Amino acid sequence: MNALPALVCVPLAGASIIWLTDRLPATRRSGPWAITLMTLTLELLLLLWASFQGTSHQGPWLNHFSIPWVPPLGIVFRLDMDGLSLSMLWLTILLSLACVLLTTRHIRDSSGTFHALLLATISGTVGTFLATDLFLFFFFWELMLVPVFFLLCGWGHENRYRAAIKFFLFTQGSGLLMLLSILGLVIINFQETGILTFDYFVLANTPLSPLLSMLLMLGFFIPFAVKLPVVPVHVWLPDTHTQAPTAGSVILAGILLKTGGYGMIRFNLMLFPEAVERFAPYATLLGLIGILYGAWLACAQSDIKRLIAYSSISHLGFVMLGIFSVSPVGLQGAIIQMLAHGLSTGGLFIIAGAIQDRLHTRDIVTIGGLWESMPRLSSVGLFFAIASLGIPGLGNFAGEFLVLFATWSVSPFIAILATGGLILASVYSLKLVNGVFLAPSSSRAEPVSDFHAGQMSILGILMTLLVILGLYPQPIMTFSLPSPATITTSNSGKNAS
């Protein structure tokens, strides 16, 4: 028995069940929601099982699955799991559970389609984190994007079409580059060795000239950079996050952006180490620009969701900085930062969505004084805001510190400038707190309802995770380092389950 294919397939199965039951006229309105919840619970159990299942083989890879898919082209349905994938999967499942529990229940119009699309996205993300066949990886990469496009179009806010087109153009256009790069790598490998394969572990050993490896590396880098996002190609993100429905924003910011960071670690760093080494100074610079530019623009926003979106750009600049410091410390920092950012920004988007549902506005200037009417929502919002400004003791600080520490040994100057991002982070976070939760309360006609105990306990879990990540990140640091591509699972291919 192997949990990996089930992890990928269960959400897809859930999506098809929802799609089927949606045809039946007799289903209850909250039926799709309940099915989604069950699917995700099942997924959680599967993940628990996958985490604690004893590994059958030695080595850093925890689990492995493969069956042939398109034998003539050497395409294999191959999934491998190491600590990095596992921690990303936990983030994915926990955050999507929280998101479904908190934000999607009230969706009225064509709730079935919405949830089916959501599950499809989750399935694509899980696949992306597991696939070790490049073709399969590309398949999941696309599977993840298309449903998001429809989610945006169908359930977004006032300016959704423009945002959706922007999102689609950027991600799809850059995805094409990745496809080219994958094909290039496969063909070169075929010419060199005579074996046609898309296998990650085989392709990792392809001999490449410096120029070619740089070109192929860039082919992978650009789509990941778009996804992360890195500054010159970030323009889709603020619009998309702002216009997406709450669940979409949470999934996008909390999980989908992490596929960019994951891809950079798994594919850029592991497949083309020398090219990355040469490219690192430029990438570091891009990361630094991202940190400062994102934070600076976040300070100038007056739309809650837009502010959070720009703060994401700033936080993920740290991820970029950590990855391209090309050191284990930086990598650990980047991973911690990704997890912490997923939790804190996901939480902030949940809060922003809750505010929008209640007050029908996202404008910081008109909202104010929520503490009086909604003390619980406000205190949770305050917690996530100070987490995102990097208070030591919470997850973001641990990540940022490790990244800065790694960067310092590369270039103290860049590290000092990146620390400036922390000052700006306090400026925009306090703008959010001062403007939305504190401030004199604006006069509102209708009374608003605060979070109830159930919602609070879900958010409490997210907050506890952030505290644990901040105060005791050591297990995750040692556990989640990516396994090198040169060490394959034992006798890869032969022991197909």
Partner 1 sequence: MAEILLSLVVVIPLAASVILFLSAGRLSGFLIGAIACGAISLSAIFSAILAGLLHSQLSPSLHVFFWEWMRTADFSTGIGFTLDPLSLVMILIVTWVGLLIHLYATRYMAGDPGLARFFGCMTLFVASMLLLVLSSDLLCMFIGWEGVGLCSYLLIGFWYTEPANLAAARKAFIITRVGDAAMLCGLLLLATEASSLQVDTLLQTVTAAKISQSALTFSTLLILVGTLAKSAQLPFQSWLPDAMAGPTPTSALIHAATMVTAGIYLIARLHVLFTATPLVLTIMAVVGTLTLFLAACNALVQSDLKRILAWSTVSQLGYMFLALGTGLWQVALFHLMTHAFFKALLFLCAGAIITRVHHEQDIFRMGGLFRTMPGIALAFLAGATSLAGFPLLTAGFYSKELILSSVWNASFFLAPDLILSGHVFWVVALAGAFLTSLYISRCFLLVFMGKAKTHESGQTPLLMAIPLGCLSFLALFGGMMEMPDALAHVHLFTEMVDPAHALPSADEPLWLLLVGGGIPVLGALLAWIFWGQRNPVLHETSDEPAPPQTSQPVPILAACLLPLFRIPSWLGRYDFPARLSKGVSILINGMNTFALQFRACIFMNVSHQTLMTLRQGNLLMAYTQNGRVRWYAAWIAGGLCASLALAGLT
* Choice from 377, 477, 485, 492 touching partner 1 (CB under 8 A): 477
Q: To the nearest whole angstrom, how small is the minimum distance from the Cβ of residue 390 to partner 1?
A: 8
Structural tokens at position 35: 């099915």
Q: Give the number of other CB atoms < 10 A from CB of residue 418.
A: 25
Helix (H) or strand (E) holding 483: none
155 vs 293, beta carbon nearer partner 1: 293
Q: To the nearest whole angstrom, how small is the minimum distance from the Cβ of residue 376 to partner 1?
A: 7
Q: Which stretch binds partner 1 (CB under 8 A): 148-156, 208-216, 302-310, 398-406?
A: 398-406
Structural tokens at position 245: 């429905």
How far is C-alpha 165 from the chain's CA centre? 20
400, 422 Cβ separation under 8 angstroms: yes
91 vs 410, beta carbon nearer partner 1: 410
Verify binding: residue 469, partner 1, rule CB under 8 A.
no
Question: The tokens 């696949």 sit on which residue?
Answer: 127
* Choice from 211, 440, 447, 494 touching partner 1 (CB under 8 A): 440
Give the separation between CA 437 and CA 348, rounded to whole angstroms: 13
Q: Which stretch binds partner 1 (CB under 8 A): 273-281, 317-325, 424-432, 486-494?
A: 424-432
In 3-state terms, the chain is what percent helix, strand and coil (to 5)?
75, 5, 20
* Choice from 106, 416, 454, 490 touching partner 1 (CB under 8 A): 416
41 vs 441, beta carbon nearer partner 1: 441
* Choice from 100, 343, 404, 466 touching partner 1 (CB under 8 A): 404
Verify binding: residue 165, partner 1, rule CB under 8 A.
no
Structural tokens at position 139: 């398949």
Q: Which stretch binds partner 1 (CB under 8 A): 201-209, 254-262, 327-335, 351-359?
A: 327-335
Closest among 254, 273, 255 to 264, alpha carbons compared: 273
* Choice from 34, 439, 448, 461 touching partner 1 (CB under 8 A): 439
Binding footprint of partner 1, residue count (CB under 8 A): 42
464: left (phi over 0), alpha (psi -120 to 50) or beta: alpha
Verify binding: residue 42, partner 1, rule CB under 8 A.
no
203 vs 406, beta carbon nearer partner 1: 406
* Choice from 408, 458, 467, 496 touching partner 1 (CB under 8 A): 408
237-296 residues near partner 1, rule: CB under 8 A: 296
Verify binding: residue 161, partner 1, rule CB under 8 A.
no
Give the separation between CA 486 and CA 365, rounded to whole angstroms: 54
User: Which residues fall within 8 angstroms of residue 151, CB to CB, at 6 or more apart?
Assistant: 114, 117, 118, 121, 244, 245, 247, 248
CA distances from 389 to 220, 370, 392 (A): 31, 20, 9
Q: To the nearest whole angstrom, how small is the minimum distance from the Cβ of residue 435 to partner 1?
A: 9
Give the separation between CA 214 and CA 311, rounded to whole angstroms: 30
String marking each residue 330-349 x if it binds partner 1 according to CB under 8 A: --x-----------------
Q: To the nearest whole angstrom, how small is the minimum distance from the Cβ of residue 338 to partner 1?
A: 16
User: Which residues fall within 8 angstroms of residue 484, CB to CB, at 6 or more apart?
Assistant: 60, 270
Verify binding: residue 210, partner 1, rule CB under 8 A.
no
Closest among 253, 273, 249 to 324, alpha carbons compared: 273
Question: The tokens 């605060």 sit on which residue?
Answer: 450
* Choice from 10, 12, 252, 329 touching partner 1 (CB under 8 A): 329
Helix (H) or strand (E) holding 317: helix 304-323
Verify binding: residue 432, partner 1, rule CB under 8 A.
no
Residue 254: DSSP 8-state: I
String marking each residue 290-319 x if it binds partner 1 according to CB under 8 A: ------x---x-------------------
Q: To the nearest whole angstrom, how small is the minimum distance from the Cβ of residue 3 to partner 1?
A: 31
Verify binding: residue 173, partner 1, rule CB under 8 A.
no
Q: To the nearest whole angstrom, how small is the minimum distance from the Cβ of residue 408 to partner 1?
A: 5
102, 147 Cβ separation under 8 angstroms: no
Verify binding: residue 454, partner 1, rule CB under 8 A.
no
Verify binding: residue 375, partner 1, rule CB under 8 A.
yes
* Choice from 105, 392, 457, 487 touching partner 1 (CB under 8 A): 392
Give the separation between CA 206 and CA 204, rounded to whole angstroms: 6
* Choice from 76, 199, 401, 462 touching partner 1 (CB under 8 A): 401
Verify binding: residue 438, partner 1, rule CB under 8 A.
yes
Q: How far apart, in Å, do the first and last CA atoms of the chain sit?
A: 7
* Choice from 94, 185, 338, 415 touching partner 1 (CB under 8 A): 415
b/e per residue 175-206 (b: at least 16 CB within 10 A): bebbbebbeebbebbeeeeeeebbbbbbbbeb
Give the separation between CA 402 and CA 223, rounded to whole angstroms: 26
* Choice from 150, 212, 426, 448 touching partner 1 (CB under 8 A): 426
Verify binding: residue 226, partner 1, rule CB under 8 A.
no
Give the separation between CA 400 and CA 377, rounded to whole angstroms: 27
Helix (H) or strand (E) holding 289: helix 273-299
Q: To the nearest whole angstrom, how small is the minimum distance from the Cβ of residue 431 to partner 1?
A: 8
432, 368 Cβ separation under 8 angstroms: no
Site residues (CB under 8 A) for partner 1? 235, 296, 300, 328-329, 332, 369, 371, 375-376, 379, 386, 391-393, 398, 401-402, 404-405, 408-409, 412, 415-416, 419-420, 422-423, 426-427, 430, 434, 438-441, 471-474, 477
